[in-house]
Structure 1
Amino acid sequence: MLRRILWTSLALAPLAILVHYLLHPDPNVDFVLSAGALIPLAWLIGEATEHAARHTGPGIGGFLNATFGNAPELIIALFALADGLTEVVRGSLSGSVVGNLLLVLGFSLLFGGRGEIDRQSSFVSLGLVGAAVLCFLIPSIPAFDGDPERSSIARLSIPPSIALLLLYVAVTYVSLRRHRLMHVSSEEAVAGWSMRRSLGVLAAATVATALIAEILVGSLESFAESAGLSDFFIAAVIVAIVGNAAEHGGAVVVAARGQIRLAAEIALSSSAQVAVFLVPAVALLSYLIDPLALSFRPVELAAIGGSAAVTAALLAQGKSSRGRGAALIVLYAAVAAAFFVAGDR
């Protein structure tokens, strides 16, 4: 019954897009339609990822979900850059890393309960996040004083961005090779969708999610202004949650089905991808639009580094539990409160 409802509700995605671009409704209408459309799209990404993982194993399956799930965040960031919203871009990216580590992983553990996770893969992802924080310090520390948008800070962001991208490529290659050696699959022996169909559905759902997320972000800004929220809070919490809708839905659905190992891979791989791939990629691509300085605020750096450290401590034994999930969610609430208090620069 639930699956039938979710399949049917996928019609909300084209409806939301058509209403937005043809009727130009009130932002509140856009918000309701796009928020509703993201729910079945997130489920569909999780469904396709689960089928793909049957062919590749949980490591590569989580990588696929993180890759497709992060596409909306990249598109949102580029749209925001085009509008000159650099603070929104940085806030949404840092909030995305924190959201994946604490909120997505937290709900995955909460719904998945007790189980085993891939400890080695988890610590590789957390190590990448830690390395990213160290690289972010290079342009961020000089930006603590003066104009954080000055061109010298943008230029200073280039070397760490290139270094992080090279690190991402190297670690991803080794990780995928490891998972491939660990998991040997025969196409004839695997039930469910074919790999081609799984990837096709993932791609289509990601494109739709990107369009819907962009509409939702536009309507959220109007709502946030009326609510008196800061741009930083909107970006680091609301926009980040919207951009992570695919990871939230996909990881939780997979975890609820008992595949906590895959769910953890989704959350941790996504956080690492945002930190060492998406952030530097946006920084470099910004030179085609408006150079972006990776001048993160102290509260952002502390939130990312602290989230990685706490997550590492909770997962040190390679075990999952509802208690660990609840702890991560509570910590996310504390970080969100800190973002609210911090306000704009």
Structure 2
Amino acid sequence: MLWASLVLVPVALAAALFGMGDVSVFLLSVLALAPLAWVIGESTEQVGEYTGPAIAGLLNASFGNAPELMVALFAVDSGLFEVVRGSLSGSVISNLLLVLGFSLFVGGRGRIDRRSAYGALGMVALAGLLFAVPALAYGPSASERLTALGVAVAAVLLAIYLVVTAWSVVRERRRHRESGTASQADWSLPRALVTLGLATLTTVAVTEVLINSIESFADASGLSDFFVSAVIVAIAGNAAEHGGAVVIAARGGVQLASEIALQSASQVAVGLIPAVVLLSLLIRPLPVFFSWVEYLGLAIAVAVPALMLLRGRSSRWKGTGMVASYAVVVVVFYVAS
């Protein structure tokens, strides 16, 4: 049924191409992302049989964050800086609370790699602290100095991310090799990687269509640009990745699903946001200034999983607590906007 439902992908793209109503395009795009989520989840699970869950989670995060990078750069080109910042900060928060929470709720009891989890949470916290430096130093009005210091912070964070990621990959490869676990994969590694790449490219196209239709939807609904970018765009841009993590968790892969959510949040905070800041220099320099409500949401998104995963175990009630925390953040965002 899921393979057959992939027909919704060309239908959604055709609907956008031939100018169907924005509401119809939006609904078709959301439906088209569901089977793509399953394909990304399936291929990542197969890759995980060869590499171990930590590297598989990193791969899924990398492929899953590709649509967000494209959306951010398109928005930078249009000068929609608030949308860029809101969607990226909202992506980190939704990964740590919504995706991780749903994964734990669906997967139930299981073990979580505490070392990897707290490493990812620590990276997100570090990014939040360093990006607060430009705002505290110059304030939101000093755009040139704010941008210059933001670029320096972005370069430092990106270098840290690349070094830590390289070290983690080497460590996890060694651990997986020493464990001697036999591969239970149904697909070959090349097939899994090619499928993951093709599904990601298709997701980029569908996500762009979805984002374009969301803007009209937001105008019709009367929601603010900040709320739309921090909540709706952030969730839509991550829809396939979110669904993939939940699918994996439902099959009993709680550890891999948690790695996907945590690695994705870490990658956005320490890798994607700095990359967007640096690439924006080639398009239109992006001032890095997040609002107090975004920092509040980020603090909640780091603190709640840190407390819930203290013992390295997952459960349904912990997942429920994370999803409830995300609902609180969404309400705060709505009131603040």
TM-score range, shorter chain: over 0.9
Identity %: 51
The one-letter code matched in structure 1 to 2:119 is V
Q: Is structure 2 residue 151 aligned with structure 1 residue 151?
A: no
Asked whether the 8 Å contact 2:6–2:36 carries over to 1, the reply is yes
Distance (Å, rounded) in 1 between the aligned partners of 2:284 and 2:79: 7
The one-letter code matched in structure 1 to 2:81 is T
Report what 1:20 is aligned to.
16
Alpha-carbon shift at residue 313 of structure 1 (Å): 1.0
> Residue 41 of structure 1: which of 36, 39, 45 is its match?
36
What SS does the aligned partner of 1:192 have? coil
Which is worse superposed, 254-263 or 173-182? 173-182
Q: Is structure 2 residue 103 aligned with structure 1 residue 90?
A: no
Report what 2:156 is aligned to.
163
Distance (Å, rounded) in 1 between the aligned partners of 2:164 and 2:58: 12
Report what 1:178 is aligned to.
171
- How many residue pairs are counted as aligned between the two chains? 336
Q: Deviations over 1:113-168 (max 9, x none)?
A: 01101110111100100100111101233464536xx2221112111101110110
Asked whether the 8 Å contact 1:126–1:312 carries over to 2, the reply is yes
Asked whether the 8 Å contact 1:140–1:297 carries over to 2, the reply is no
Q: Is structure 2 residue 91 aligned with structure 1 residue 109?
A: no
Which is worse superposed, 299-308 or 321-330? 299-308
Distance (Å, rounded) in 2 between the aligned partners of 1:140 and 1:297: 9
Report what 1:241 is aligned to.
235
Q: Deviations over 1:285-332 (max 9, x none)?
A: 011111101101111112112211221111011010001000000000
TM-score, structure 2 length as denominator? 0.97
Distance (Å, rounded) in 2 between the aligned partners of 1:69 and 1:156: 29
> Residue 132 of structure 2: which of 99, 120, 137 is its match?
137
Q: Deviations over 1:235-292 (max 9, x none)?
A: 0000000111122111100101111010100000000000000000000001111110
> Residue 327 of structure 1: which of 297, 321, 327 is its match?
321
Alpha-carbon shift at residue 190 of structure 1 (Å): 4.2
The one-letter code matched in structure 1 to 2:159 is L
Distance (Å, rounded) in 2 between the aligned partners of 1:303 and 1:179: 31
Distance (Å, rounded) in 2 between the aligned partners of 1:26 and 1:101: 34
Report what 1:213 is aligned to.
207
Q: Is structure 2 residue 14 aligned with structure 1 residue 7?
A: no
Asked whether the 8 Å contact 1:139–1:293 carries over to 2, the reply is no
Distance (Å, rounded) in 1 between the aligned partners of 2:175 and 2:140: 49
The one-letter code matched in structure 1 to 2:3 is W
Distance (Å, rounded) in 2 between the aligned partners of 1:302 and 1:199: 38
What SS does the aligned partner of 2:311 have? coil
Which is worse superposed, 152-161 or 95-104? 152-161
Report what 1:300 is aligned to.
294
Asked whether the 8 Å contact 2:140–2:146 carries over to 1, the reply is no
The one-letter code matched in structure 2 to 1:177 is V
TM-score, structure 1 length as denominator? 0.94
Alpha-carbon shift at residue 173 of structure 1 (Å): 1.2
Map residues 184-195 of structure 1 onto 2, 5 A cutoff: 184=177, 189-195=183-189
Asked whether the 8 Å contact 1:119–1:316 carries over to 2, the reply is yes
> Residue 66 of structure 2: which of 56, 66, 71 is its match?
71
Alpha-carbon shift at residue 18 of structure 1 (Å): 2.3
> Residue 267 of structure 2: which of 273, 276, 281 is its match?
273
Report what 2:24 is aligned to.
29
Asked whether the 8 Å contact 2:140–2:289 carries over to 1, the reply is no
Alpha-carbon shift at residue 62 of structure 1 (Å): 0.6
Asked whether the 8 Å contact 1:49–1:65 carries over to 2, the reply is yes
Distance (Å, rounded) in 1 between the aligned partners of 2:154 and 2:209: 29
The one-letter code matched in structure 2 to 1:299 is V
| Unmatched 5+ stretches in structure 1 | none
Asked whether the 8 Å contact 1:101–1:268 carries over to 2, the reply is yes
Distance (Å, rounded) in 2 between the aligned partners of 1:124 and 1:189: 27
Report what 2:334 is aligned to.
340
Distance (Å, rounded) in 1 between the aligned partners of 2:138 and 2:216: 29
Report what 1:263 is aligned to.
257
Q: Deviations over 1:46-75 (max 9, x none)?
A: 010000000101011111111100000001
Distance (Å, rounded) in 1 between the aligned partners of 2:219 and 2:226: 12
Report what 1:289 is aligned to.
283
- After superposition, the CA RMSD in angstroms is 1.5
Asked whether the 8 Å contact 1:12–1:33 carries over to 2, the reply is yes
Distance (Å, rounded) in 2 between the aligned partners of 1:138 and 1:88: 21
Alpha-carbon shift at residue 41 of structure 1 (Å): 0.5
Which is worse superposed, 99-108 or 193-202? 193-202
